[in-house]
Structure 1
Amino acid sequence: MIDNIWELLRPTEAPNRRHSVYASPSPELALNSASSGSNDRNDYLTCQVEIIGEIKLAHLNIEDAKFHQDIKKLSRLVPQLLHENFSELPVEEKSRFASLYLPVVSKEELLSTLDNTRSGEILKSLEENSTFWSDTNFTLQDHKGELFFELLDGAYYKLHPIS
């Protein structure tokens, strides 16, 4: 649900998290964020990323998106908003919001299913309460936050192992 909301609220200059490459600004942070389950750093290869071409870049102010305050906040807010605004409606109206809970729903798909006046009130509340994109920089910064980038047409990247 949170990824769907972040996708729904994603500004045009921001990379699509579902099509992005994730990175860290330092080898140490990359190793700390590695998720294969092994605690042995020898199981990982740390690389420097060389980007050729144009990208959309996002640099979070926190080490990992999984720690963003939106996750707890919106996980409580959405069910509350749905209960307050839709509990008396027929299931056909309620089902519009099921798309928030579906895996990998696009911004366009979400907007098309949430296209009515009552939905607009909930969307406004989500915009007012989500800070993920406003907490994000769209240029490389000098801090330890998570990076992710989306390759634009013709762009590619190379990985250079760091010894």
Structure 2
Amino acid sequence: MVDNLWEWVRPNGFPNRRHSVFSSPSPEGAAKSALNADQIYTVTFPGEALIAQIVGYEDARWHSDCKSLPKKLFSVLSESGWMEKGIEEKSAVAPLWAPCLLREEVESLFSLEPLKSVREEIRSSISFWKDVKLLESVEMVGDVGEIFFEAEEWVLHPFLPEN
């Protein structure tokens, strides 16, 4: 649900997280998230790339929205009496929890009650993209913060620690 809300308000020109490759600015950070911590790589881009970094968050799953948005949505829906409704009325909102909704699909859900009445309140509660900065190159990467990028092509180079 949080990912769907992030996609709903993703600014134009920013990478789509569903099509992105994720990385870390440090080998240590990469090792924490890697399936195999012995296989760490650096990346270069032979062509164009959309590169972004979540400033101050090692991993998007630790972003404050991940806790606050579900609480906020449940709170506003609860205030509307939605939680006491029958399954037919709840089913209008249920698709918000489906994986990988498009921006337009989330927008269409917020055109229906009960989401229509809380649309702006939820939208203004999403802070993720305020913490993301676009980077012109990997040389601009800060020390802390998940990096994600979209590119037609990229090259991985095995990370070789300095001795």
> Does TM, normalized by the shorter one, top 0.5?
yes
Deviates more, 1:51-60 or 1:112-121: 112-121
Aligned to 2:92: 96
Matched with 2:78 is 83
Deviation at 1:69, TM superposition (A): 0.6
Task: Please show how residues 8-157 of structure 1 align to structure 2 within 5 Å.
Answer: 8-34=8-34, 36=35, 41=37, 44-61=38-55, 62-85=57-80, 87=82, 93-116=89-112, 119-139=115-135, 140-151=140-151, 155-157=152-154
SS of the residue corresponding to residue 45 of structure 2 reads strand
In structure 2, what residue type is equivalent to 1:68?
A: H
Matched residue SS, 2:13: coil
RMSD: 2.1
Matched AA of 1:97:
V
Q: 1-side partners of 2:105 and 2:8: how far apart?
A: 9
Q: Return 19-28 or 77-86, whichever deviates more.
A: 77-86
Q: Give runs of ≥4 in structure 1 deviating > 4 Å.
A: 88-93
Residues 96 and 114 of structure 1 are in contact (CA less than 8 Å); yes or no, is this contact kept in structure 2? no
Question: Per the alignment, in what secondary structure is the counterpart of residue 133 of structure 1?
Answer: helix
The number of aligned residues is 154
Specify the code of the residue in structure 1 equivalent to 2:43: V
CA distance in 1, matches of 2:99, 2:113: 24
Q: TM-score, normalised by structure 1?
A: 0.83
Structure 1 residue 99: deviation in Å? 1.8
CA distance in 2 between counterparts of 1:69 and 1:85 reads 24
CA contact (8 A) 1:20 1:150 kept: yes
Tell me, in whole angstroms, the C-alpha distance in 1 between the residues paired with 2:94 and 2:81. Answer: 12
**C-alpha distance in 2 between matches for 1:120 and 1:52:** 45
Answer with 119-128 or 19-28: which moved more: 119-128
Counterparts of 1:128 and 1:113 in 2: how far apart (Å)? 16
Letter in 2 for 1:4: N
For structure 1, the 5+ residue unaligned runs are: none
Structure 2 counterpart of 1:83, one-letter code: S
Structure 2 runs not aligned, ≥5 long:
none
Identity among equivalent pairs (%): 37
Relative to the length of structure 2, the TM-score reads 0.83
Deviation at 1:72, TM superposition (A): 0.9
Which region of structure 1 is more displaced relative to structure 2, 17-26 or 113-122? 113-122
In the alignment, the residues of structure 1 paired with residue 123 and residue 108 of structure 2 have an alpha-carbon distance, to the nearest angstrom, of 17
With 125-134 and 78-87 compared, the bigger mean Cα shift is at: 78-87
Q: Deviations over 1:61-118 (max 9, x none)?
A: 1111111111111121111112223527775554332121111111111112322475
